[in-house]
Amino acid sequence: MKLDFPNLATFNYVYDVLITLGSAKDNELPLNKLSRFVDLSPQRLQSHLDLYLYSSVPESLLEQCLFKKFMKPTGLKLLRNFLAKVFGLKLKDMELYYKLTKEGLKIYKGLPYYTKMKNSLAMKVLKTLTGASHPRLILKRLSIILCVGTVVSSSISSLPYGLIIAKSWLFIALLIMALLLLKVFKPP
């Protein structure tokens, strides 16, 4: 199977969306969240993704369909109704979602990211530690955890037993960084 990408920018965005959707629960996410991961406006991202959308591809190119798009009700219906009544705010009832098709999932499972991470114990530990599955989100949350932990441990180092706690945190932080750099995000 050959995918014909119109240009390198589209390829990059589609690659990022494949990783994001493939690592998301049920392989689906709203367009707004996808656009934050890819760092692109929702309208611009939608124009890139619509090239590989199930409904917009001719019958002869159905194997190139990577995404399905559908509307899904937004959560917190009671809160939305309350805000509409009290403050007169009009909030959206439905939100645009993208989901990987079978072909998209097949391509995701062939990506170097997936093959490297699928059985990695280090990646499972980092996913559990950060509560995220996308590599960028893991790095972002891990850096926040390490920065906050370092500030807290250095501020309590003057307390009794604080130096022991600070040294323990330093050891844990170095262990996490070694795990991250050596096992998960090593160069090919």
Read off the pTM.
0.70
Tokens of 117: 């991470």
Kindly give the confidence (pLDDT) of every residue in the chain, 188 residues in length, as a single tens digit, with 9 standing for 90 and above.
455 555 777 888 888 889 889 888 888 988 988 888 888 899 998 988 888 886 655 655 556 688 888 888 776 666 767 777 777 766 667 788 999 988 889 988 988 878 777 777 877 888 888 888 777 888 888 888 888 888 888 888 788 888 888 888 888 888 877 777 776 666 55
Q: How many CB atoms lie within 10 A of CB 21?
A: 25
Domain 8-117 has CATH 1.10.10: yes
What is the Cα 78 distance to its own chain's centre? Answer: 28
DSSP secondary structure letter of residue 62: G
Contact at 8 Å (CB) between 157 and 165? yes
**Nearest residue to 77 (alpha-carbon basis) of 60, 92, 63:** 92
**Nearest residue to 126 (alpha-carbon basis) of 112, 109, 143, 114:** 143
Which residue ranges make up each domain of the chain? 8-117, 121-184
